[in-house]
Amino acid sequence: MAPYVTNLEGSVFGLTGLPEVVKGALFARYSRSPKGLRRLLVDEFIDPDVSAASGGRAGEARAEALFDRVLAEYGDDSVAQLGGAHIAVEGASNLLTKVLQWGRLASYLEQSTRYIRFTDRPGGEYRYHRPQEVMADPAAAEAYVRTLDGAFEVYGRLIPLLIAHFDRAVPPDPDTPPEARARAIGARALDALRGLLPAATTANVGIFASGQAYEALLLRLMAHPLPEARRCGEAMLIELRKVIPAFLTRVDREDRGVAQAAYLRNTAEATAGVAREAWGEGVEGPDGPAVRLVDFDPDGEARVVAHALWPDSGRSLPEVMRAARAMVGEERARVLEVYAGSRGDRRHRPGRALEATTYAFEVVCDYGAYRDLQRHRLLSLQAQPLTPRLGYDLPDEVGEAGGADEYARSQQACVALHDALAGDHPAEAAYAVTLAHRVRFTMVMNAREAMHVAELRSQPQGHASYRWVAQEIHRQIAEVAGHGAIAATMSFVDRSEPGAGRMAAERRAEARRSGRVNGHRSNGGAGR
């Protein structure tokens, strides 16, 4: 047993060196047995003839048999939550990355447009997705490659122009090492220019998820109208079955996963048809970015106060709710001030009482900002299709640096490509839409998640476009009658100028690097 558990005696221990299917099946048995986990491991899974030292996969056959019986035959979805896998998806378009990151119960990491320059040409080609359906059409392929190559070329030409602009605009600081200042200026230049990148721009995505979350992801990919998404799902299923095969037995069964994917696809198409019957095909929207609080609880503050006081009240929730509603504003504000306490930083968040009220925001902002805001999974987010019809944003810094005309010409060329593709290749037309173009989406979240979004995304080292969205979310909550005390708990919403925050972040990073180097030099690597 020793190779498979972190200790042999304690009441708290971890599992090591076991296949995912064994860990999942072991915990499944754990829930229905009076035995301890180590006893179950010995009695039901470890083969005494297979040693860990020999590389044997302890208990795998027995675990797979259990999964066949429990998961495939009886559909106990909780069992599918007990094992997971890491998957890397490389060269995914920015359209595909949003599909991959849609699920709530998973962890994702994606390459950043802030720290990576998309000016290199691996294999002689810029880093954007070339859809098979477009590449098979000679006229469309020629226009697609010419236009997107042009967008990347403009992006590359404007980087030194923006770096020089920020170098002039940001005065040297004696407390900031030159390397940190250069990185901060470079990041601001890439931030300002990422709007030139088309949605076809590729990125690498890392995913860690349970078997259940992967099953949901694969079904979503199978049902998606984008061929790239469907092909990615086929490839992921092949690779996941090399790691957690028992968790994915239902995905391509005609009566299970295939039928469920068809249900998702058919209901999405039918609902879109109803919407088109009502409003037609056009896209209408504001002339620029917009954040609107479109729905909220009028008595949200009283709800939060009641849920804050109820656990220690010894009374029923309706009784505490009546008392909270009877309080004057100052009394409720005092309760929420005590409940929030003295927050040392934005990671010190009050408890779940803030989840008792919700807000619905409709947002129109550039697709680049949407990419970052979409990653907040503890909320309900829906987006309309990406098109160029809502216009695009031109960062002020690009105009100040003298790059506005070239920026605009590149955007216009991408719009023309989108419109040319839309007839014969409607699913692929969105690849031509740039990160500067606006998209409309909704965010429905409780007050605790609104605190997280507003505080995290308003930090001065963040991108200006999503900082503005986060600041507007907080401002509009604060201005709603009866919600000011809730907004006051969000004390780490930042409205400072972005340059100082970026420089401070790079100074801290440089200090950490310097500390590691100095520690290594002074004590033979023992320093941390």
- pLDDT at position 58: 62
Q: Are residues 320 and 178 in the same domain?
A: no
Range of the domain at 12: 2-82
Q: Are residues 170 and 305 in the same domain?
A: no
Tokens of 198: 């088309």
Residue 210 has φ and ψ, to the nearest 5°, of -80, 170
SS3 category, 166: helix
Q: Are residues 49 and 140 in the same domain?
A: no
- pLDDT at position 40: 86
In a domain, residue 455? The reply is yes
- pLDDT at position 250: 87
Report the mean per-residue pLDDT for the chain: 89
- pLDDT at position 372: 92
**Structural domain ending residue among the three candidates 63, 82, 101:** 82
In a domain, residue 312? The reply is yes
pLDDT tens sequence across 317-355: 999 999 999 999 999 999 999 999 999 999 999 999 999
CA angle 488, 449, 395 (to 5 degrees): 85
Strand partners, 198: 434
User: What radius of gyration do the chain's Cα atoms show?
Assistant: 27
In a domain, residue 525? The reply is no
Tokens of 67: 């999964």
Cα gap 526→528, rounded to integer Å? 7
Q: Are residues 128 and 268 in the same domain?
A: yes
374 or 29, which is more confident? 374
In a domain, residue 396? The reply is no
Length, in residues, of the chain = 528
**Structural domain ending residue among the three candidates 28, 52, 82:** 82
406 CB-near residues (< 8 Å, 6+ apart): 154, 157, 158
Q: Are residues 239 and 381 in the same domain?
A: no
In a domain, residue 424? The reply is yes
In a domain, residue 506? The reply is no
In a domain, residue 511? The reply is no
CATH of the domain at 446: 3.30.1360.170
Cα gap 222→231, rounded to integer Å? 8
Q: Are residues 275 and 420 in the same domain?
A: yes
> CB of 347 within 8 A of CB of 455?
no
Q: Are residues 112 and 149 in the same domain?
A: yes
Cα gap 447→373, rounded to integer Å? 16
Tokens of 143: 């226009």
pLDDT confidence tier of residue 69, bands split at 50, 70 and 90? low
In a domain, residue 510? The reply is no
What DSSP element (H or E) covers 150? helix 138-169
Separation in Å, CA 48 to CA 28, 60, 74, 343: 22, 13, 30, 54
Q: Whole-prediction pTM value?
A: 0.87
| 441-463 average pLDDT score | 95
For the chain, report the end-to-end CA distance as a whole number of angstroms.
35
Tokens of 103: 């699920």
pLDDT confidence tier of residue 73, bands split at 50, 70 and 90? low
Q: Are residues 358 and 414 in the same domain?
A: no
**Structural domain ending residue among the three candidates 82, 101, 130:** 82
**In terms of DSSP H, where are the helices of 241-327?**
259-279, 300-309, 317-326
CATH of the domain at 172: 3.30.1360
pLDDT tens sequence across 101-158: 999 889 998 988 878 899 999 999 999 999 999 999 999 999 999 999 999 999 999 9
pLDDT confidence tier of residue 31, bands split at 50, 70 and 90? confident
Cα gap 166→97, rounded to integer Å? 31
> CB of 94 within 8 A of CB of 148?
no
Please identify which residue in the block is written with the tokens 């028992």. 246
Cα gap 196→159, rounded to integer Å? 11
131 CB-near residues (< 8 Å, 6+ apart): 227, 228, 425, 428, 431
DSSP 363-406: EEEEHHHHHHHTT--SSEEEEPPP-STT-B---HHHHHTT-HHH
Q: Are residues 197 and 254 in the same domain?
A: yes
Q: Are residues 251 and 351 in the same domain?
A: no
Q: Are residues 143 and 206 in the same domain?
A: yes
202-210 sheet: strands from edge to edge: 84-93, 202-210, 106-110
Q: Are residues 21 and 41 in the same domain?
A: yes
Looking at the structure of the chain, the number of domains it has is 3
Cα gap 507→184, rounded to integer Å? 9
